[in-house]
Structure formats: C-alpha cells, structure tokens
C-alpha cells in the first residue's frame, strides 16, 4: 500500500476530490494547512504573505492504483498547461501497517 500526501491550492480541492471520486477512489482525508514553498511566500503590493493557505489530501491506496491516483492529482491540481509556482507538491510513501479501528483488523 502507498500513502499519497498532496498539498494543493485550496481552489483546486473540490476539483481533485470529485475527479478521484469519479475514478473510483472515494476515500481521502482533507486537512486545511498553511505554509510556503520555494517561492518563500507571496508579495502583493506592499503586503507580504509569509504563509499561504493550502489543502493537504491524504490518500492510501493499493500499489497498483498509485499511478492512477497520482495522474489524477497531478493533472487536475495544475492551474495551467505549464503550471504555476504554488500549485503544490505530492509525496508518496510506503504504508507498513494499517488497521480498521472498529474491527481491529489489519488492512494489509
């Protein structure tokens, strides 16, 4: 199993969520987060925004579905054909163990 953590623009959250649902990947966790990337914030006129609002999507999927989920996120979260600074970042990691709390049964 893989855990995909995608930090995306807030305005892309519903688009990505709906695209994943339509493709058969309904399970995810959404978390409102704040941070900055390589651009070190955003300057608008005289105002400097050190940390910007983003959404963190956490999706755990079977290994064979990882590429499909990644493709959806990377395609739908992008704000233009070339992309823009601040579109986000995606991290993929192995899941060693997972349990369902109600049944105490392992998922792997």
What pLDDT, on the 0 to 100 scale, is given for residue 100? 92
Q: How many domains, in total, are found in the chain?
A: 1
With respect to residue 52, please indicate whether it lies within any of the assigned structural domains.
yes
Residue-level pLDDT, tens digit, the chain, 108 residues: 999 999 999 999 999 999 999 999 999 999 999 988 777 777 788 888 888 899 999 999 999 999 999 999 999 999 998 888 889 999 999 999 999 999 999 986
Starting from the edge strand earliest in sequence, which strands make up the sheet with 2-9, in order? Answer: 29-35, 52-61, 2-9, 88-94
With respect to residue 86, please indicate whether it lies within any of the assigned structural domains.
yes
How long a stretch of residues is the chain? 108
With respect to residue 108, please indicate whether it lies within any of the assigned structural domains.
no
Containing structural domain, residue 78:
2-94
Q: Residues 9, 54: contact at Cβ < 8 Å?
A: yes
With respect to residue 54, please indicate whether it lies within any of the assigned structural domains.
yes
Q: Which CATH number characterizes residue 85's domain? A: 3.30.70.120
Q: Residues 56, 73: contact at Cβ < 8 Å?
A: no
With respect to residue 99, please indicate whether it lies within any of the assigned structural domains.
no
């Amino acid at each position: 199993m893989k855990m995909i953590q995608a930090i995306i623009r807030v305005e892309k959250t519903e688009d990505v969520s709906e695209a994943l649902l339509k493709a058969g990947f309904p399970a995810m966790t959404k978390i409102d987060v704040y941070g900055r990337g390589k651009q070190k914030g955003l300057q608008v006129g005289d105002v400097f925004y050190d940390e910007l609002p983003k959404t963190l999507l956490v999706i755990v999927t079977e290994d064979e579905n990882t590429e499909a989920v990644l493709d959806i996120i990377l395609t739908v979260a992008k704000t233009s054909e070339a992309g823009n600074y601040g579109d986000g970042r995606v991290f993929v990691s192995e899941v060693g163990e997972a349990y369902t709390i109600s049944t105490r049964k392992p998922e792997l």
